[in-house]
Amino acid sequence: MLIRIGSRGSRLALTQAELAATRLRRSGVEIALVPITTAGDRDRTRPFGEIGARGVFVKELEEALLDGRVDIAVHSAKDMTSTDTEGLVVGAYLEREDPRDALCGADGLRPRMRVGTASIRRRAQLLALEPTLSIEPLRGNIDTRLRKRGERGLDAIVLAACGLDRLGLAGEIGLRFDPDVIVPEAGQGALALQVRAGEEKLVATTDHEETRRRVEAERACVAVIGGGCLAPVAAYHDGEQLTALVAAEDGSWVERRSGEDPGEVAAALTPYVTA
């Protein structure tokens, strides 16, 4: 049996797709990787908010699934929208790796540092920690952003620790921010294997139950809050409780709530989304 796996074409995305392929091959199936270019890959200069809503790295993969051109799409769970696209489901989550944000180029924040990131979630929380920081937009794949840090003379950049780990670039990390300090993106650190509804059996053997429990709680919370790439919203479940955050993009205010029920946590934060 041949299973076609759709993936973005970056080095990290293909590495992640191969992680999924390795697990699926254990059940005796043959795998073909199908690279697909997304809107977020084509436009590497404009901010995410100008390209479209959250999902700029997902839409084309979902279309390939719906059209029958691939059988499974592998996503970084943090790139997905907070609700499932009609006709598609996450059939499996691979076991979550490090969910934390990583500071590369320095071992801590200092006043007036120049820090690169395209994420408004990171921007808001970084400025809340150190208001004198200069946050500069920085896009591209991991290798490109690491290179641009030197070319532009930035003091540091912030990336997802899991991506650096998967590419063997953990040595670039000067500090891994504790989730209590910078709340990660919902789903960060987890890989989602998306399939057509009714075809969950294709990936069922790879599903990690605890990762699913935690990531689905994070996604549910963000869905109620109504955030995404266009709003500084974050959610992270540590295994015991869920913590979510909304903030002003300039870091002038940050609101956090924690609890066991995603709906209750989200309801406590929803009034601040339009504040």
Q: Catalytic annotation on 79?
A: yes
Q: Select which of 71, 79, 98, 101 is catalytic.
A: 79
User: SS3 for the chain, per residue?
Assistant: CEEEEEECCCHHHHHHHHHHHHHHHCCCCEEEEEECCCHHHHCCCCCHHHHCCCCCCCHHHHHHHHHCCCCEEEEEHHHCCCCCCCCEEEEEECCCCCCCEEEECCCCCCCCCEEECCCHHHHHHHHHHCCCCEEECCCCCHHHHHHHHHHCCCCEEEEEHHHHHHCCCHHHEEEECCCCCCCCCCCCCCEEEEEECCCHHHCHHHCCHHHHHHHHHHHHHHHHHCCECCECEEEEECCCCEEEEEECCCCCCEEEEEECCHHHHHHHHHHHCCC
Q: In this structure, which amino acid lies at residue 54? A: R
Per the CB < 8 A criterion, the answer to whether 114 and 154 are in contact is yes
Q: How many CA atoms lie within 13 A of 253 on its CB side?
A: 7
Residues labelled as active-site residues? 79
